[in-house]
Chain A
Amino acid sequence: DVKVTQSSRYLVKRTGEKVFLECVQDMDHENMFWYRQDPGLGLRLIYFSYDVKMKEKGDIPEGYSVSREKKERFSLILESASTNQTSMYLCASSLAGAQPQHFGDGTRLSIL
């Protein structure tokens, strides 16, 4: 089975901090994704990557950056956390192209 592991289930940070969310997949998947999920807004794509060191902006990249130095790891960075970034963050990976995505358990991030 595919395993996508997010480093924290719950995280509390302060406004202005630099925040790192880590995601690791163990199935040699090409594609990796970061979403945020908010009530009433569904899933919104922040960034995705289709190869090592490659990244593409999703629908809501402002205030975020990403890093993919190794194929299995995709990091989401909040450069200067703000309260409106309080959300559930979901990482996903897929083998290649249009293959189904597999999700981690999510990180519930609170910015105080």
Chain B
Amino acid sequence: GEDVEQSLFLSVREGDSSVINCTYTDSSSTYLYWYKQEPGAGLQLLTYIFSNMDMKQDQRLTVLLNKKDKHLSLRIADTQTGDSAIYFCAEISGGSYIPTFGRGTSLIVHP
């Protein structure tokens, strides 16, 4: 079946930029999403991008999509301790109700 891969951990210093990467295999992906999960909570939709876009910016968040390489990234500028969480990448193709989620990247922000 289709697959979404993410690295498990990322550690950054407060104030630096964080870049979380994701690769996917489904060439018919329509939407690609980023979710944030804080400890003990559900998943919060951070942002999403349509597959016909290359980039989307929303305040400190920048999403880049390389459709040729099936690579998605989430850049968080000026990373804060409150950004420490697990970040999930997900994709869905146009004919489906069901997204495919990655396993999540645990972002650790240290002073």
Contacts and interface: CB of A to CB of B under 8 A. Distances in A.
Interface residues of A, number: 24
A101 B41 contact: no
A42 B45 contact: no
B40 A98 contact: no
B interface, how many residues as a size bin? Answer: 20 to 34
A98 B94 contact: yes
Contact of A43 (B45, B96, B101): B101
A63 B57 CA distance: 43
Interface string A72-101: 000000000000000000101010011111
By DSSP majority rule, is chain A's interface helix, strand, loop, or mixed? strand
B103 interface: yes
A103 interface: yes
A101 B99 CA distance: 8
Interface string B6-44: 000000000000000000000000110101000011111
Contact of B45 (A48, A102, A105): A102
4 closest A-B pairs by beta carbon, nearest first, are A103-B42, A103-B43, A42-B103, A106-B42
